[in-house]
Amino acid sequence: MKIALIMIALLILSGCTHVAPYEKEELATQKMLAAPMTTRAAFDSHVFPIREGSFGAESGFSGGCGCK
């Protein structure tokens, strides 16, 4: 697992090109956000930890929901 993650990281980093601020128009669109559906993402972080036995490393984090 660790080796696979390192390989993926190296592969990604070796293929990176510098993106200037004026080239980020596409990256700034709604569909390119890490969580384009913000309300659903928030609800996911509410429902999934209640229905499943694991949580963490979500794409959005605001401290938790405080639910039991």
- Is there binding between residue 3 and other proteins (CB under 8 A)? no
Q: Quote the tokens at residue 25.
A: 């128009």
Tokens 């070796």 map to which residue? 14
Structure tokens at 60: 């959005």
Contacts of other proteins in 30-59 (CB under 8 A): 30-43, 46-48, 50-59
Contact call for residue 6 and other proteins (CB under 8 A): no
Classify 43 as helix, strand or coil: helix
Where do contacts with other proteins occur on this chain (CB under 8 A)? 1, 5, 8-9, 12-13, 15-21, 23-24, 26-43, 46-48, 50-68
